[in-house]
Structure 1
Amino acid sequence: MPRIVRLFIPWILCLLIPTLFSGTLGAVQLSSSVGLTQHHSPPFAQLISTKKSSRRQTGNAQPPSLVQNLRFHRYADHTRLVIDVEGQLHLRKRSQTKTDQVILELANTRLSKRAFGKTRNTGFPQSVQIARKWGNPVTITIDLSAINTYKVITLNNPTRLVLDLFPSTEPKMNGDDKPSLVQKIPEKSENATPRAARKNPPSTAKPVPVQSVKPAKSSQRLLIVLDPGHGGKDPGALGRKGTREKDIVLKVSKQLKQMITERLNAKVLMTREDDVFIELEDRAKFANSEKADLFVSIHINSHPKHSVKGLELYHFGQASDPRALEVAARENGTPLENNGPAWQFILADKLTDKKIDESRDLAWIARKALVGHLRKHYKIKDHGVKTAPFFVLRNTTMPGILAEIAFVSNPIEEKLLRSTTYQTRVAEGIYQGIKAYVAPLQTVLR
Structure 2
Amino acid sequence: MKYWSNPDYTRIALYTRTKVRYRVGRLPADRKRRKPERLYVDLVGCDLGEEVPARTSVKDGLVSSIRAAEKGPNTVRVVFDCGRPFTQKVVPLENPDRILVDISRVESAPQVAKARKRAGDSRTKAPDKRLVAKIKRASKPRVSLSVMAGLKIKRVVIDPGHGGRDPGAIGPSRTFEKKITLDIARRLKRLLSEKSGLEVLLTRNSDRFVPLEERTAFANEHRGDLFVSIHLNAHTNRKFHGVETFYLDITDDRYSIRLAARENATSEKTISDLRYILADLATKSNTDDAIHLARLVQRALVRRLRQGWKGIKSLGVKPALFYVLIGARMPAILVEASFITNSKEEKRLRRASYRQAIAEGIWRGIVSFIREREKFYASGR
Question: What's the TM-score, normalizing by structure 2?
Answer: 0.61
**Does 1:365 find its partner at 2:296?**
yes
Within the alignment, does 1:148 sit opposite 2:85 as a pair? no
Q: Secondary structure at the match of 2:141?
A: strand
Flag the 1:320–1:224 CA change in 2: closer, same or farther, 3 A: farther
2:170 is aligned to 238
Q: 1:320–1:386: 8 Å Cα contact kept in structure 2?
A: no
Are the aligned partners of 1:237 and 1:300 in contact in 2 as well (CA < 8 Å)?
A: yes
Task: Please give the alpha-carbon distance, in whole angstroms, between the structure 2 residues aligned to 1:275 and 1:345.
Answer: 32
CA shift in 2, pair 1:163/1:330, >3 Å: closer
Equivalent in the alignment of 2:192: 260
Structure 1 segments unaligned to the other structure (5+ residues): 1-74, 78-145, 166-179, 183-211, 217-221
Letter in 1 for 2:204: R
> C-alpha distance in 2, partners of 1:292/1:432?
19
Q: Which moved more, 1:406-415 or 1:373-382?
A: 373-382
> Residues 167-220 of structure 1: CA distance to partner in whole angstroms, max 9, x if unpaired?
xxxxxxxxxxxxx999xxxxxxxxxxxxxxxxxxxxxxxxxxxxx98135xxxx
Say if 1:213 and 1:293, in contact at 8 Å, map to a contact too.
Answer: no
Aligned to 1:413: 345
Match of 2:142 in 1: 162
What do residues 110-139 of structure 1 show as CA deviations (whole Å, max 9, x unaligned)? Answer: xxxxxxxxxxxxxxxxxxxxxxxxxxxxxx
* Counterpart for residue 222 of structure 2: 290
Letter in 2 for 1:269: L
1:6-155 → structure 2 map (5 Å cutoff): 147-150=129-132
- In the TM superposition, residue 343 of structure 1 has moved relative to its aligned partner by 3.3
Structure 2 unmatched ranges of 5 or more: 1-107, 111-127
| 2:266 matches 1:334 | yes
Q: Tell me the secondary structure at the aligned position of residue 296 of structure 1.
A: strand
Q: 244, 263, 277: which one pairs with 2:209?
A: 277
* Cα distance, 1:164–1:299 mapped onto 2, change above 3 Å: closer
State the match for 1:214 in structure 2.
Answer: 151
The answer to whether the Cα contact below 8 Å between 2:144 and 2:289 also exists between their aligned partners in 1 is no
In structure 2, the residue corresponding to 1:343 is in which secondary structure? Answer: helix
Aligned to 1:397: 329
CA contact (8 A) 1:300 1:404 kept: yes
Distance 1:358 1:344, change over 3 A: farther
CA contact (8 A) 1:152 1:161 kept: no
For 2:357 and 2:274, locate their aligned partners in 1 and report how far apart those are by CA, in whole Å: 36
Contact 1:152–1:445 at 8 Å: present in 2 too?
no
| Superposed displacement of residue 289, structure 1 | 1.0
Report the CA distance shift for 1:345/1:336 in structure 2 as closer, same or farther (over 3 A): closer
Distance 1:291 1:323, change over 3 A: same
Q: Secondary structure at the match of 2:258?
A: helix
Paired residues of 2:251 and 2:319 also in contact (CA < 8 A): yes
Aligned-residue Cα RMSD (Å) equals 2.9
Quote the Cα distance in structure 1 between the aligned partners of 2:227 and 2:350.
Answer: 25
TM-superposition CA deviations, 1:296-333 (whole Å, max 9, x none): 00000111111110011000012351111111111111
Shift of 1:76: 6.2
When residues 163 and 283 of structure 1 are mapped into structure 2, their CA distance, relative to the original with a 3 A threshold, is closer
Query: Do the aligned partners of 2:168 and 2:178 also contact (CA within 8 Å) in 1?
Result: yes
Letter in 2 for 1:215: K
Pair 1:283–1:215, CA change in 2 (3 A):
closer
Quick check: 2:249–2:283 contact (8 Å CA) kept in 1?
Answer: no
Corresponding position: 1:426 with 2:358: yes
User: How many Å separate the matches in 2 of 1:437 and 1:320?
Assistant: 28
Q: 2-side partners of 1:161 and 1:440: how far apart? A: 11
Runs of 4+ in 1 over 2 A off after TM superposition: 146-153, 162-165, 343-349, 351-354, 440-446
Please state if 1:300 is matched with 2:232.
yes
Q: Distance in 2 between matches of 1:395 and 1:163?
A: 22
Per the alignment, residue 315 of structure 1 pairs with 247
Distance 1:413 1:435 in 2: 26
1:382 lines up with 2:314 in the alignment? yes
Secondary structure at the residue paired with 2:319? Answer: strand
Query: Bigger radius of gyration, 1 or 2?
Result: 1
